[in-house]
C-alpha cells in the first residue's frame, strides 16, 4: 500500500529563447493508498509534466513529490509508467517487450518468459508472442503496454492517456479490463486523460488542472459511483451524467481560457 502526494510542486522549463516557462505552479495533489485518481485539464496544461515528476524523471523546481510521506529522490522505483506515447521497443518481439522489466531486474530467462506469457494471456494476446509491435493494431499495442507495466507489479501506476488513440468501443473494453486488473490489487493509480467521461467512469476522484502557464489544481471532485462499475453501461446512469455536468462546466472554462491564450495575437 502506497500513498503519493505532491506538495507545492512547481516545474519550469527552459524555453527556446532561454527564458523560463512555468508549466505548473504550486500543485497540491494527494493520491491515497489504493485509490484511483484522475487528472484532467486542457491540452498543454502540464498533465504529463506532473506524471514525469511522480515517476522521478523530472525534479520539481520547487516543492516535492512524496511517496509514503518520504520525499522522492531520483527515480520512483515503486512506480510503473504507461507513457502517453507507445513505450514499446520496435525491434523487440511482443514477448520480449513485456518481459523487459523483469529482465532489467535480473529475472532468469525461463521465468521471465513464463511470466510474460501469462500476462499476454491475461490481456488477450496469447499467440502474438513472436509478433513485433508494428504488426499489431493500436488496441493490441496498448494491451502490450499494459502487460509491460503491470508485470513488475508496481505499487503505483502512472498512466498517461493510455487509451487516447483508440476507437470508442475498444477503449471502453480496455477501460473495463483495466478496472478488472486494478480491483482488489491495492495499487495506487494516478491516471491522466483529456477525456472527462473516462476520468469519471474509472476514478475515485477527478482533479482539474487550470489552463497553463503556471497550471495548478482548481477543482477536486469525489466520484461517488458505486463499485464494481460496469463501464459499458455506466455513462447513461443519472448519477454519472450529473457528475459529468458539474465537472464539465468547470473544465470547459479552463479549456476556453487555454484556447484563447493559445490564439492571442503576438
Ligand atoms: N521538455 C520540455 N521543454 C520545454 N517545454 C516543455 C517540455 N515539456 C513540456 N513542455 C511545455 O510544458 C507545458 C506542459 O506540457 P505537458 O506535456 O505536461 O502538457 P499536457 O497537459 O500533458 O498536454 P497534452 O494533454 O497535450 O498531453 C506545455 O506548454 C509544453 O509545451
Ligand atoms: Mg500529455
Distance 23 CA to ligand 1 centre (A): 7
pLDDT tens digits, 173-200:
889 999 999 999 999 999 999 899 999 9
Q: Confidence class of residue 266 from pLDDT cuts 50, 70 and 90?
A: low
CB-ligand 1 contact for 233 (6 Å cutoff):
no
161 CA closest ligand 1 atom index: 27
Q: Is the CB of 171 under 6 A from ligand 1?
A: no
Give the alpha-carbon dihedral of 107, 109, 114, 115, to 10 degrees. 30
Distance 193 CA to ligand 2 centre (A): 8
**Domain at 1-73+187-266, CATH from 3.40.50.720, 3.40.50.300, 3.10.180.10, 3.30.450.20:** 3.40.50.300
| Reported confidence tier of residue 265, pLDDT bands at 50, 70, 90 | confident
- Number of Cβ within 10 Å of residue 189's Cβ equals 21
Cell triple for residue 72? 522522492
Ligand of minimum distance to the alpha carbon of 209 = 1
Residue with cell 476522484: 205
Question: No. of H helices and E strands in the chain?
Answer: 7, 10
160 CA to centre of ligand 2 in angstroms: 7
Instruction: Of 48, 37, 41, 43, give the one whose Cα is nearest residue 4.
Output: 37
Residue ranges of domains in the chain: 1-73+187-266
pLDDT digits (tens, 9 = 90+) for 36-80: 999 999 999 999 999 999 999 999 999 999 999 999 999 999 999
Query: Which residues is 220 bridged to in the sheet?
Result: 207
Beta carbons within 10 angstroms of residue 59's beta carbon: 13
Q: Give the whole-angstrom CA distance, residue 215 versus residue 40.
A: 12
Pairing verdict, β 62-67 and 70-71? antiparallel
Task: Give the alpha-carbon dihedral of 114, 120, 126, 129, to 10 degrees.
Answer: -70
Residue 52 Cα: closest atom of ligand 1: 18
Per the CB < 8 A criterion, the answer to whether 233 and 187 are in contact is no
Amino acid at each position: 500500500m502506497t500513498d503519493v502526494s505532491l506538495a507545492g510542486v512547481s516545474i519550469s522549463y527552459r524555453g527556446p529563447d532561454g527564458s523560463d516557462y512555468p508549466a505548473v505552479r504550486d500543485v497540491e495533489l494527494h493520491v491515497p493508498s489504493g485509490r484511483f485518481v484522475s487528472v484532467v485539464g486542457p491540452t498543454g496544461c502540464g498533465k504529463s509534466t506532473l506524471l514525469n515528476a511522480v515517476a522521478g524523471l523530472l525534479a520539481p523546481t520547487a516543492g516535492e513529490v512524496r511517496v509514503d510521506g518520504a520525499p522522492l529522490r531520483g527515480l520512483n522505483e515503486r512506480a510503473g509508467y504507461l507513457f502517453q506515447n507507445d513505450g514499446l521497443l520496435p525491434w523487440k518481439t511482443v514477448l520480449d517487450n513485456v518481459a523487459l522489466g523483469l529482465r532489467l531486474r535480473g529475472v532468469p530467462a525461463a521465468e521471465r518468459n513464463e511470466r510474460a506469457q501469462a500476462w499476454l494471456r491475461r490481456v488477450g494476446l496469447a499467440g502474438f508472442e513472436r509478433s513485433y509491435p508494428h504488426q499489431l493494431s493500436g488496441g493490441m499495442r496498448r494491451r502490450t503496454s499494459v502487460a509491460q507495466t503491470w508485470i513488475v507489479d508496481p505499487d503505483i501506476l502512472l498512466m498517461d492517456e493510455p487509451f487516447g488513440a483508440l476507437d470508442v468501443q475498444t477503449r471502453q473494453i480496455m477501460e473495463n479490463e483495466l478496472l478488472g486488473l486494478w480491483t482488489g490489487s491495492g495499487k495506487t493509480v494516478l491516471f491522466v486523460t483529456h477525456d472527462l467521461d473516462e476520468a469519471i467512469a474509472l476514478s475515485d476522484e477527478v482533479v482539474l488542472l487550470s489552463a497553463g502557464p503556471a497550471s495548478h489544481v482548481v477543482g477536486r471532485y469525489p466520484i461517488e459511483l458505486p463499485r464494481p462499475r460496469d463501464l459499458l453501461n455506466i455513462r447513461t446512469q443519472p448519477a454519472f451524467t450529473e457528475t459529468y455536468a458539474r465537472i464539465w462546466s468547470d473544465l470547459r472554462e479552463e479549456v476556453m481560457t487555454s484556447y484563447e491564450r493559445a490564439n492571442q495575437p503576438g
